[in-house]
Amino acid sequence: MSVGERVARLGTPSRVAGFVLGLGALFGGALAVGSAVGPTDATATAAPHAAGGHGAASTTGHGSAGSEPGSPVSSALPGGLTVAQDGYALRLASATAVAGRAVPVSFTVTGPGGAAVTAFDVQHEKRLHLIAVRRDQSGFQHVHPTLAADGTWTTALDLTPGTWRLFADFKASGGQALTLGSDLSVSGAFTPVSAAPVSRTAAVDGYTVTLTGDLVAGRDARLGLTVTKDGRPVTDLDPYLGAYGHLVALRDGDLAYLHVHPDGEPGDGRTTAGPEVVFHTTVPSAGGYRLHLDFQHHGVVRTASFVVTASEAAGAANAPAPEPATAPTSEPMQTGDSDGHGH
Ligand SMILES: [Cu+2]
């Protein structure tokens, strides 16, 4: 998979995220690997986003449909594709906005009955995580809005012209964890960013982050993200919302929002503070995905973004596959992952 890989600083639009995400964090944080990784987590697959908060998401459940007999997830969709689900809805105060930096954006989450929800459970240290990305996969941002007593959430985003997808990842008290998505149209001359080539190395503020591991449709994937600075491994990453990094995956074409689960957490006695941060995810289909890693070092949160392509699972079409169809990568594999689930 190293063919075509190269160091590639993502284009300007993606780095709009440079708007400092003081609280920009990602998910999966506090999940212990044993409960976080989806493919064998029947509870999670039956109730997307349920136990384990951000983790346990529909992504993993969906992806595991073929390998988990009896799993009730075959019809589950990834998160973020709908504006309303299970009686809850994401209501933007305005469907339009003007381009600019720190543009105020507000919204509510309405619950069964239609009233704005005012009680949310904390997941990964926040009651709601908002991810914004332009529909051409540029401009990724992850912020934590503030909640007013009447249920109105308010934040600020750096918005360029175009159509943006806003994802609210939350768990209303008494409800299931959900990720709802809604579009925000931002006025101004719009030049779409064309599809980016595969990029497994990201450079940001003197840091270089390298991605190892391959995504295969319907299979648990171990993703390793190795952080270096000035050529030296970073081994003192800050714990950040209960993890050493937070990763979001967005599918090309529909921006399906995929939860990714960290393998281990700070203080568990086995998880190191870098240079490698390990995640697990299962993508539901082959094709392109963007991965966005938020990591914190010396008190500053930065985002490293990657472009990857998930392959079809060997044998997915009933073709016997006695030998791996693809050459193993040079990445040292953890023996703990030999069962394909990593836990
Ligand atoms: Cu967050």
pLDDT at 143 over 60: yes
Question: Which of 179-188, 222-231, 237-246 has the least mean pLDDT?
Answer: 237-246
If you measure from the C-alpha of residue 312 to the centroid of ligand 1, how many angstroms do you get, rounded to a whole number? Answer: 30
% pLDDT > 70, the chain: 70
pTM of the model: 0.71
Is the domain 56-187 a CATH 2.60.40.1930 member? yes
pLDDT category at 26 given cuts 50, 70, 90 is very low
What tens digit of pLDDT does each residue of 84-124 get? 999 999 999 999 999 999 999 999 999 999 999 999 999 98
Average pLDDT, the chain: 78
Q: Which residues surround ligand 1, an ion (CB under 5 A)?
A: 25, 129
What tens digit of pLDDT does each residue of 313-331 get? 876 555 444 444 444 444 4
All structural domains of the chain with their residue ranges: 56-187
- The per-residue pLDDT for 75 is 53
Q: Is the dihedral of CA 321, 256, 307, 196 positive or negative?
A: positive
If you measure from the C-alpha of residue 314 to the centroid of ligand 1, how many angstroms do you get, rounded to a whole number? Answer: 35
pLDDT at 286 over 50: yes
If you measure from the C-alpha of residue 321 to the centroid of ligand 1, how many angstroms do you get, rounded to a whole number? Answer: 40
If you measure from the C-alpha of residue 129 to the centroid of ligand 1, how many angstroms do you get, rounded to a whole number? Answer: 4
